A and B are shown apart, each in its own frame.
Chain A
Amino acid sequence: MKKWVVLLSLVTMVLFCYCNKAAQKGTMSEVKVMLSWDPGPENAFLYYGMDQGIFKKYQIELKVIPSKGSSLVATALLNRTVDFGFLSSDYLLTTRTKTPSLKAVCVLYHQTPVTIYSPVENNIKEPNDLKGKRLGVLTYSAAYPQVVGFLKMKNVSGVIEVPSRASVSELLAGQIDAAMDYTNYAPVLMVVKEKRPVNEILLSQDENIRLYGTSISADESTLNNRRELAERFVHAVLESLEEAKSNHAGALAALLKHSPELDRSVEELALQKTESMIYSPETLTKGVGYMDSDGWKKSIDTLIHLGALNTDLAVTSVFDDRFLQTYRSELK
C-alpha cells in the first residue's frame, strides 16, 4: 500500500510540474522571424535580446529562421509562414508594386550598405575603374538592381558581369576582379580572415543615392489582425537594439553563441561596422530603428532614378510606424 502512495505522489508531482511549465509556456506567444540571410552581425541584437530575456519580458518566444535572401523572406511573409522578416528596403519597395501588403515596422540601416569591393592590387577605386573588369554579381540578391542602376547612373560601360555567388573565394581564386556585397560582410571577411586589404566603392557615398537598407517588415494582416503581438515584438526589438548598443561585447558573444560557425575576429570588426550603420548619428535624436516619410520618399526616388522601380508609390503605404511611436512615447 505504501509503495502505491509513494508512486501516486510522485506521478502527481511530475504532472503538477509539467502542467505548471505548460501553463507558463501558454502565456508566451511564439513569433517567427526570418533573417534576410544566414545569421550575421545585423542580427546580433536579436540574439542579445533573446539571451538577456528581453523578448521573454514581452512574453515572446522568438524563433529565428535563417534564409537565403529577401525574395524568400518576402514570400514567407506573404504566406504567413513567418511573422516578421529582415527585408532589404529596396526589395520591399519593388515588391509592393506586385504585392502591396508588406510594410516596414522599423529600419535598421538608414543608408544602403551595398558596396563593390575588390583586393587593392586590382586597383578598382572608383566606378570607372570597373571598365573591362569582371564584376561578380549575385543576380537574385536585392543589391543587384542597385549595383546595375548605380553603374548606369555613373555611365560606366564595358563592365563584364559574372553571375556568381560574388564571394571572397571567387575573388581569391581570380575568377572575378570585384564583387558586390554589403560593406559589413564579405569585405570584412577578406580583410580579417585573408589579411587582404580591399578597396570599396560604397553606393551610399554617392549623394544621389539615399536609400534605406535593411528593414524589419511584416504583412499588413499580421500588423492589423495581431496588432497587440506586433506591438510587443517591435518594442522588444527596439529595446534589444538599445541594450545591445551599450554592450558590444555582449552582442558579439550572443551572436557567436548562436552561430559558432562565425569567426570571432571577423565578426568583431563586422559588428563594429554594423553598429556604425544601425546607430547612425541621426538615431541619437530620432531613436534606433527610426523611419519617416522623408526617408522612404527619398528611397523611392532613388530607386526610380536607378531604374529599379518603374512607378511612384504612396509613401504612407510602405511603412507602419505606429509601434515605433508607442515605444517612443512609453520611453518618454
Chain B
Amino acid sequence: MKFKDFLLDVFIISCYILFWELMVKGFKIPDRILPPPTAILSAFLSTAHYVLVQSFSTVIVIVSGLVPAIIIGIFLGACISEWKFVRKMLLPLVSSSQVIPKTAIIPLFLAWHLGYSTTSKSIITFLISFYPVLLGTCLGFSRISDDFIFLFKSFGASRLQTLFRLKLPASVPHIVTGIKAAALYSVIGAITSEIFMGGQGIGYVINFSSEKLNMEMTFVGLTIATIIGSLFFAGISIFESTFVKKRWGGS
C-alpha cells in the first residue's frame, strides 16, 4: 500500500469517527446506548495497562489455538487428500465437528476437568479455525495438474517424495488463503470463548462491562478486538505478499 493510500484510509476513518462524535453529541444519545469516541478514548487511557494485559491474554488464546490449527489442518488436509482410507475415516468426524456449535460444548470443559482455563479457550479457538486450513490444503492438493504427478511418477519419485516435493509446495497459496480465513476465525473463537467462559481477555472485558452498563469499556474492548483481528490478518497478508506471491504468484 502506498503512503498516499494509507493517508487516505486514515482520513476516511477519522471522518467516520468525527461523524460519530457529532452525531452522539448532536442527538444527545445516552452513553448507555452509544458513547462518543472521546469517552471511549478516555476510558481506554484510564485503564490502558489493564486493557493491554487482557489483550495479551487474548493474543495467547489466539496463538495457542491458531498455531495447532495450522499444523493439524495442513496435516489432516494432506492425509485426507492422499489416503482414501484416512478420508473415509476422518471426513465424517471432521465435518460433524464443524456442525456442532462450538459454544455448546463449553459446559463440557468443566465436566472434563479442564475448567474455564486458557486451554479450554484455545480448544474452542482451534476448533473454529482449523477447518479453513484443512479445506485450503485439500483444495490445493486437488488443483495439482495430473501431468505434474505423472512427471514425478515417471522420474520414479516415491509417494512421500511427491507429497513433499510437489503437492505440499504447490498447495501453499491455497493453504495461505485458508490460514488467512483461519486467522480471522481464531479471533472470533477467542473472543467468543472469553465471553462465555469469562475470567480474562478482551471478550471478558466486553461481556463484563456491558453487564455493568459500562458501554465505554465495552467499546474499548470491541475496538481492541478489531485491532487484534486486523493485525493478525495484516501479518498473514504481509507474509503472503512477501513470500508466497513472490514465489507462487498467489492463489
Contact = CB atoms under 8 A, between A and B. Distances in A.
Contacts of B214: 261-263
A309 interface: no
Interface in A83-133: none
Interface stretch (B2-10, B108-116, B168-176): B108-116
A60 B117 CA distance: 20
B111 A75 contact: yes
Contacts of A75: 110-111
A76 B213 contact: no
Interface of B: 32, 46-47, 50, 110-111, 113-117, 196, 198-199, 204-205, 208-209, 211-214, 217
B208 A76 contact: no
Contacts of A262: 212, 214
Given A65-B199, A79-B110, A79-B113, A266 B32 contact: no
Given A66-B204, A194-B32, A260-B50, A167 B111 contact: no
A261 B205 contact: yes
Contacts of B198: 38, 66-68
A121 to B, nearest CB: 18
A253 interface: no
A80 B46 CA distance: 37
B46 A261 contact: no
Contacts of A82: 115
Contacts of A25: none
A261 B219 CA distance: 12
A172 B32 CA distance: 10
Nearest to B47: A260
Nearest to A72: B110
A12 B46 CA distance: 41
A254 interface: no
A81 B46 CA distance: 34
Contacts of B46: 260
Given A68-B198, A260-B47, 9 more contacts: A38-B211, A72-B116, A81-B115, A81-B117, A82-B115, A167-B211, A189-B212, A259-B208, A261-B217
A81 B212 CA distance: 28
Interface string A174-200: 000000000000000100011000000
B213 A81 contact: no
A208 interface: no
A92 B46 CA distance: 39
A68 B195 CA distance: 11
B47 A76 contact: no
Contacts of A221: none
10 A-B pairs with least C-beta separation: A81-B115, A261-B209, A260-B47, A75-B110, A260-B50, A38-B208, A66-B198, A79-B113, A261-B217, A261-B208
Interface in A47-66: 65-66
